[in-house]
Amino acid sequence: MEGTIGKILIVDDDENIREVLKMYLENSGYDTKSAADGKEAQEVFVEYKPDLVVLDIMLPYVDGVDVLKWIRKDYETPVIMLTAKGDTFDKVLGLELGADDYMVKPFEPKEVIARIKAVMRRFNSETTGTEVLNFPELIVDMNSYNVTYKGQDVKMPPKEFELLYHLAANKNRVFTREQLLAEVWGYDYPGDSRTVDVHIKRLREKLQGGPNWQLETVWGVGYKFEVK
C-alpha cells in the first residue's frame, strides 16, 4: 500500500500477540492484516496478497503447518513461523516445508521486526549487489528471485531459490550440510541436517540438470553444483 514498506499478515489465535505485533509493525511502517485461525488466514491471504506472513503453528480449524503447505503450493511469499513449543521437531518440520525463519514464544516484538526485515531484505527483488547466473538451459536471477529452466519460469520458495543460488554461484565447490545450513539459512540450526536433503530433493524434481551442469551428491560430504 502507498506510504508503507510492506504488507504483513499476522496469523495467531492469541489476540494479545496479534495486537502487539500489529502495533509494532505499523509503527515500523508496515501495513498489516490479521487472522485468528487457519481457515481465516487462507481467505485473508488470497484477498490481501501479503509480502510476508507471520504464522503460528498451533491454530484452530486448519493448523499452521497445513497453512504453510497451502501457501507453498502456489506462492513464494516468505513465511516466519511462531510456536509456543520449544520443540525441535516443529522447527525442523516448518523449515523443511519451506518456512524462511522460525521463532519460539515468548519473544520480543522488536526481534520479530528484525527477523521480518532480514527475510524481506533477502527476498526483495531490489536487493543490491546481486547477479544473474547463466548456464545452458538455466537462468538464476537473484534480482527477481526468478529461475528459468528450459525457457520456462520455475516456481520455488525463497529458501529453495537461495540454496540453488548459493550452490550455483560457487560452482564445483562441495558444501557440507552444516555449511549450507549456516550460509543459506543464516542462523544456528538446532535440529538435524535433513532439511538440506529435503530442499535438494525438491530442487532436483524441478531441475533435472542441463547439458553441462547437475546438482550432485558428494557421498559422505554434502552437495555441489557441478559444471563440466
CA angle, 37 as apex, 12 and 198 as ends, to 5°?
Answer: 80
pLDDT tens digits along 173-220: 999 888 888 778 765 555 567 889 999 999 999 999 999 999 999 998
Query: In CATH, what is the architecture of 132-227?
Result: Orthogonal Bundle (1.10)
- pLDDT score recorded for residue 125: 47
Domain boundaries, the chain: 7-123, 132-227
Q: Looking at residues 67-87, what average pLDDT do you find?
A: 85
What per-residue confidence (pLDDT) applies to 2? 42
Q: Which of 50-64, 128-142, 187-201 comes out lowest in average pLDDT? A: 187-201
Query: Which one is the CATH code of 7-123: 2.40.160.40, 3.40.50.2300, 3.20.20.190, 3.30.70.20?
Result: 3.40.50.2300
pLDDT band at residue 124 under the 50/70/90 scheme: low
Provide the pLDDT for residue 127: 44
Mean of the per-residue pLDDT values for the chain? 85
Is pLDDT at 170 greater than 90 in this prediction? no
Q: Fold match between 7-123 and 132-227?
A: no
